[in-house]
Structure 1
Amino acid sequence: MLESIYEDAAAADRRHNPLNNFIPTLRSGEWSDIGDRLHMEDTHICITDLAQNFGCNLLGEEAISFYGVFDGHGGKDAAQFVRDHLPRVIVEDADFPLELEKVVTRSFMETDAAFAKSCSLGSALSSGTTALTAMIFGRSLLVANAGDCRAVLSRHGMAIEMSKDHRPCCNNERMRIESLGGFIDDGYLNGQLGVTRALGDWHINGLKEISGRGGPLSAEPELKLVTLTKEDEFLIIGSDGIWDVFRSQNAVDFARRKLQEHNNVKLCCKEIVEEAIKRGASDNLTVVMVCFHLEPPPHVVVPRPRFKRSISAEGLRNLKSLLEG
């Protein structure tokens, strides 16, 4: 069991910290919109009990909830394939659920390879997708990300990013890519792709397998595991179209206000998407939200960093000249 790895170290902490004596009560919602695009390439999934969903009876084990957002590019086929296959691959892994982190990483890679085989059966399957999944197991939250979807946790009103955007501008990703023979050109991986990790895209030469080793476009997810406490309010998972117009803290603030108004998780997701459209988002838009309490978030004042703002003498002169015409 995943949680047992951390049980000894956490036991003493729980005795001293009552926040850790917490079992989340899960409520989830989702909403999506085509946005300003001709085709809808986002998709998502919400499964309350992953093992039971696939007929796997884990005696004595707590339910594992599974949530995912998949943002396709070059078509919807890869996103739908990963949505339909990844959960089953996870459940059917021999180490599920005892070594969940290894299982999830391995399952991303296996699902990517399975899609490659499907691609050989039809050119319509030549597409790619980013993938972000969240699994909740007791007090444990495990987020796996390959691409530029993002998961943000609200902890007593503070935004905690549970994933990193895998884009060519990221220095760590650039180093990994260059070590594998790839390059960044004008902000694109090998001059072709705006993300550095994704499943699919096997039809693009030079991005995946190169001489028996992994190519610069990786399907391996980055993982982040946290133990939830009473202060953790909800998790927002959004496709990149959401984060084009929302900063992480801004999304948490917006969601908290809406939940305080009506405490309806699905409606809150809908309102986030609608607000993104109002702000000029042009991409497909998908939001999945998981709340950890039955009650709405409490009213709190979240401290914000205070910045001193100043303008140089030269800036003042330039501003004065602009105002005077």
Structure 2
Amino acid sequence: MGQTLSEPVTAKESAYCQNELYRVGSSCMQGWRINMEDSHTHILSLPDDPGTSFFAVYDGHGGATVAQYAGKHLHKFILKRPEYKENPEKALKQAFLDIDYEMLYNESWGEQMAGSTAVVVLIKNNRLYCANAGDSRAIACINGEVETLSLDHKPNNEAETKRIHEGGGYVEFNRVNGNLALSRALGDFIFKRNANKKPEEQIVTAYPDVETREITADWEFIVLACDGIWDVMSNKEVVDFCRKRIGMGMYPEEICEELMNHCLAPDCQMGGLGGDNMTVVLVCFLHNKPYEELIARCAKNNNINGSSDNITTTSSMDVDHLDLK
């Protein structure tokens, strides 16, 4: 699990942004960990492609350097790819490798021990592209039902184990070389030194899986979060948790805060569950309608008074509008 504090840091950095298509909230919390190593991004309108939105969560390990760099730059690498306009899926895959190359050679981080997961959602022309490397995760709620947008990359997955072995590594205690608990990541260059293998064939690779979906009027929201959330709650539990609170009239950033509080361990003796850094981005689809219509839609199908989980109503936070460039 890593080093922990004697008491968790529960202060949260929360933000929101909104346009006619989305109401987005985010929040992050250090929790029991010695340092905060996560990063995240939400951009309603990409500067070089104004009709496209970009959301991402990066869960760093061994330091925050790679996660922070990705948070500032990965979307730029995607937009620079020559395939971007015609083939965003390919552009996403190559951009993950491009930013890895940049950090390794041009930023001279080859000896850096740090790495980071990356789960990215790009929405362009009503089509969603989700690129994932690592065990952060994205899910959607479509008409109240869970839609999985990414699969976790764990060393004991059959395909991941095969690549690890062929790259010259091994899996021990469900970890790469007995060390790393995920099998794809940005950074972690110590696992990317096989000169006879392509970047996507290394023991640990930055090469992402990409899922594509068509956005319809039934799409209600998506959640991107690090494994500090998914280790504690299932996809369905997270969807139900968020949908219930939307139906209560809560704003996305407030829901992100409550979700982290719900997952936070009461002490640091729970085998790592609830003891990690936590970051959540909640993207609510407005479909050119007021947020109140989504509230009404979720409330209609929710038995709020009969809820079995602990609901605490909070007031709207006074947070700055965030639309990163």
- Give the TM-score band, short-chain normalised: 0.7 to 0.9
Contact 2:119–2:136 (8 Å) recurs in 1: yes
Pairs within 5 Å for 1:46-65? 46-50=42-46, 52=47, 56=48, 63-65=51-53
Aligned to 2:178, the other structure's residue is in SS state coil
Task: Give, as a single letter, the amino acid of the residue that structure 2 aligns with 1:104.
Answer: L
Partner of 2:134: 147
Contact 1:133–1:145 (8 Å) recurs in 2: yes
Deviation at 1:176, TM superposition (A): 2.5
Out of 38, 41, 66, which is 1:42 matched to? Answer: 38
Deviation at 1:99, TM superposition (A): 1.4
Determine if the alignment matches structure 1 residue 181 to structure 2 residue 165: no
Partner of 2:29: 33
The structure number with the bigger radius of gyration is 1
In the superposition, the TM-score normalised over structure 2's length comes to 0.77
Partners of 1:301 and 1:259 in 2: CA distance = 10
State the aligned residue count: 267
Partner of 1:167: 154
Deviations 1:91-113 (A, max 9, x none): 12223222111111110000011
Contact 1:198–1:218 (8 Å) recurs in 2: yes
Determine if the alignment matches structure 1 residue 73 to structure 2 residue 65: no
Aligned to 1:108, the other structure's residue is in SS state helix
Contact 1:119–1:126 (8 Å) recurs in 2: no
Tell me: CA distance 1:35–1:91, structure 2 relative to 1, closer, same or farther (3 Å).
same
Aligned to 2:282, the other structure's residue is in SS state strand
Partners of 1:229 and 1:85 in 2: CA distance = 29
93-102 or 238-247, larger mean C-alpha shift: 93-102
Determine if the alignment matches structure 1 residue 266 to structure 2 residue 253: yes
Partner of 2:6: none
Deviation at 1:27, TM superposition (A): 1.5
Unaligned runs of 5+ in 1: 1-23, 303-325
Aligned to 1:178, the other structure's residue is in SS state helix
Q: Between Structure 1 and Structure 2, which shows a larger proportion of helix residues?
A: 1
Partner of 1:290: 283
Partner of 1:210: 194
Deviation at 1:285, TM superposition (A): 0.1
Deviations 1:217-248 (A, max 9, x none): 01000000000112211000000000111100
Partners of 1:144 and 1:291 in 2: CA distance = 19
Unaligned runs of 5+ in 2: 1-19, 267-272, 304-325
Deviation at 1:277, TM superposition (A): 1.2
Contact 2:247–2:302 (8 Å) recurs in 1: no
